[in-house]
A and B are shown apart, each in its own frame.
Chain A
Amino acid sequence: MKQHPDLSTLMSYSSGTLSLAFSTLVTSHIENCDHCKEIVQIGNELGASMMENDIENKDKTEDFNEFLNKLNNKNNNSEIKEIDFDLNSEVPASLQRYIGTDLDEIQWSFFAPGIQKSQVKISDKSNCHLTFLKIKPNKKIPEHGHKGGELTLVLKGAFEDANGTYAAGDIADHDTSTHHEPVVSSKEDCICVIATDGPMVFKSMIANMYQSIVRI
């Protein structure tokens, strides 16, 4: 894996301050990325240290007997649910709960010539969603910038832009400072998943009008 989330994105992942969509994609990337796992683990140690060294509360106590009652009630009423992942799937484990284990099972709809789209709601209590795109070889996404952050995780195939080439497992981490014109560089279709916290802003007025209707 050659393309990773920005260091600041990984630190925010450790602190738990990324949106559900962003953190889902970061988890999907680091499943198979030791480089990012190490960064996140250092972030987790940092968070643990902040929690442990809270001087004001060192001498406070909590009621252990009350907790034991709660634990006993829970043990009598429920079973632990183990999460079952297919680790041989081309779908990262953390996306499997949303799209299953087979990329061919995704229900695509027309987005633009050569581009198909599928949106998956990942929270039933907010408007949080992931956008999957299936793009034909050599197809370009028109030049655009971003009004917020955008993470793109490649699931199959590859694309490239001025910042480099992104293959399966790689993540492109863009913010308002990025303008790019990604083009699919693989011989097969490129399937990627996008999380945004602001709309794309296209250089072309027509593309912008279209984006305001179909919105990624």
Chain B
Amino acid sequence: MLEVNKDLVKKFQAEKNTKDFEVIFNYFAPRIKSLLMKSGADGAQAEDIMHDTMINIWEKIHMYNPDKGSFSSWVYTIARNNRIDLLRKKSSQPYTDISEVEIASDNESGLEIVEQKSISARVKKAIELLPLKQRKVIELSFVNDLTQEEIAGELNIPIGTVKSRMRLAYQKMKHNLKELQA
């Protein structure tokens, strides 16, 4: 499988051709669908949301700004918002995400920690370094789409413990990302 790298995304932004998009599709489509099925979507719903996400990528590629985060995180937020709209909110009002507002305002994010360079590898490593209990809470939230209350029920722990593990996981992640950047 061909790699989705910064150059390919830049080329696709400039030329918007089907050949480059096929590489993006082949890399992300199975991953988006798999994440959706783990978060409770059935096969047909996962396929619909994946298709909607890929259509959004095609239509909104000009809005992606590499200074504000990795391409993968942009794809993830589109898939997440489509999932929210279709599966959880059951609303005809589309979810207004910060990325849409940011595009309108054209603010610079000023993020130092999330520059494109090898971010994906560093985040993967930073997650691996999380203590097991914190990592479990993060997985249940990000992969299985469980609310804090549902995680508390699943793990049979108080909701305050879920919150504190999430806080600790974030602090540890941030620390790990800085260490790995050095």
Contact = CB atoms under 8 A, between A and B. Distances in A.
Interface residues of A, number: 64
A155 to B, nearest CB: 16
Which of A11, A14, A61, A176 has most chain B Cβ within 10 Å? A11
Contact of B35 (A11, A17, A54, A97): A54
Most buried by B among A18, A40, A49, A125: A49
Interface in B109-162: 109-111, 113-114, 119-120, 123-124, 127, 138-139, 141-143, 145-148, 159-160, 162
A17 B147 contact: yes
A16 B12 CA distance: 28
Interface string A8-33: 10111011111010011001001100
A31 B143 CA distance: 26
A45 B59 contact: no
Interface of A: 6-8, 10-12, 14-18, 20, 23-24, 27, 30-31, 34, 37-54, 56-58, 60-62, 64, 67-68, 70-71, 74, 80, 83, 85, 87, 93-94, 97, 122-126, 128, 175-177
B143 A50 contact: yes
Contact of B119 (A16, A45, A80): A45
Given A7-B166, A31-B101, A85-B101, A126 B120 contact: no
B41 interface: no
A54 B34 contact: yes
Interface residues of B, number: 79
Contact of A64 (B26, B109, B119, B147): B26
A87 B31 contact: no
